[in-house]
Amino acid sequence: MKKRILTGITTTGIPHIGNYIGAIRPALKLATETDESFFFLADYHSIIKNKNPSEIKSSVKNIALAWLCCGLDPEKTLFYKQSDVPEILELTWILNCVSSKGLMNRAHAYKAAISENELEPDKGINMGLFSYPILMAADILMFDSTHVPVGSDQIQHMEMTRDIAQRFNHLYKSILTVPESIIQDKEKVVPGIDGRKMSKSYNNVIPLLGTEKELKKSIMKIVTNSLEPGEPKDTDNCSVYELYKNFADENEVNEFKKSYEEGIAWGEAKELLFSKINKELEPIRSSYNELVNNNDYINDVLSDGSKKARQIAEDKMSQIRDAIGITKIS
């Protein structure tokens, strides 16, 4: 069987350097090393928490742009919007009917949400949040995905997907591929400009698609200690050094570390970091400037991908309907 990876892309906010290092770059590298790769914009997942239509619409565009500008090749990778493949929601209902409530009760996201409510455990919790793992399972199982890259926070959901697939295969026919997880390195936290994990909620991000001036301004704001030029500096827990490691080769990192021992000035260290990041982002920025106002191109890419995805989904749903007895009367 061919190795087919599937990656769901959260459609919230504007991508930053942390997203690029932790998700976009490794996913695109993995796509070049596999037989088939499917990437989709998980826009139905976004409405679980976000009830602002304009934010959802703009986020879908920004996220699609980011991945295309960073090198996603729609000629080699199937790139589509979840909402353009209605068969996914049909499969979600069918999987709901073979999934136990007890399984959903054990989902970490649901348990975390009810733990915050003292008097009414389910206050503010919608059915989308509760049954989210089933929609995720449908995303994966619809396309016979063999491997799914996940972070440590999604391992449980992948186990649920496997359980649901096996349950369906046991009840009906063995037609759902039971996928394997590819565990991504989530131990490495990308630091923001204040030293905490880079996150929009902390307002400490370095922009991915901003201008060169905006990039430099953000880097120069990175918080450092008060050691003067000439004083040796420690690379441990240093945001400048940690970020530099993600854009430099081994020799460059060793040289940078040596400059710390020799007392490099913080301003100079940040200039070196800016130069290194900017060099990698220049072609991404150039692509972004070319595409940002070309909505027709973005829509065409997603439409083409969705048509191909639907062909696969329609064939799969035909098998599934036949297996469960939802067929023409004969």
Q: Is 54 helix (H, G, I), strand (E, B) or coil?
A: helix
Model pTM score: 0.91
Q: Where are the alpha helices (DSSP H) in the chain?
A: 17-19, 25-32, 43-46, 53-69, 87-96, 101-105, 108-115, 127-130, 132-141, 155-171, 212-220, 239-245, 250-261, 266-291, 295-324
What parts of the chain have a pLDDT lower than 70? 185-188
Instruction: Give residue 277's Cα distance to chain centre.
Output: 21
Instruction: Please state, in angstroms and as integers, the Cα–Cα distance from residue 21 to each residue in 104, 110, 162, 186, following that order.
Output: 32, 28, 28, 11
pLDDT per residue over 166-192, tens digit each?
999 999 999 999 999 998 765 568 999
Other CB atoms within 10 A of residue 57 CB: 12
Q: Which is the CATH superfamily of the domain at 4-189+294-324?
A: HUPs (3.40.50.620)
Q: Please give the pLDDT value at position 14.
A: 85
Residue type, 263: G
- DSSP per-residue letters across 206-224: -BSSS-HHHHHHHHHT---
Q: Please give the pLDDT value at position 185.
A: 66
The CATH code that applies to domain 210-290 is 1.10.240.10
Residue type, 218: S
Residue 238 has which token pair?
Answer: 């240093």
Q: Please give the pLDDT value at position 201.
A: 86
pLDDT per residue over 112-169, tens digit each?
889 988 788 899 899 999 999 999 999 999 999 999 998 888 899 999 999 999 999 9
CATH 1.10.240.10 maps onto the chain at 210-290
Q: Please give the pLDDT value at position 172.
A: 98
Q: Please give the pLDDT value at position 235.
A: 96
In sequence order, the 6+-apart residues with CB closer than 8 A to the CB of 268 are 229
Residue 202 has which token pair?
Answer: 């902390």
Residue 192 has which token pair?
Answer: 């923001």
CATH 3.40.50.620 maps onto the chain at 4-189+294-324
Q: Please give the pLDDT value at position 184.
A: 78
Instruction: Please state, in angstroms and as integers, the Cα–Cα distance from residue 3 to each residue in 80, 145, 149, 207, following that order.
Output: 19, 8, 12, 34
Q: Please give the pLDDT value at position 187.
A: 53
pLDDT per residue over 57-68, tens digit each?
999 999 999 999
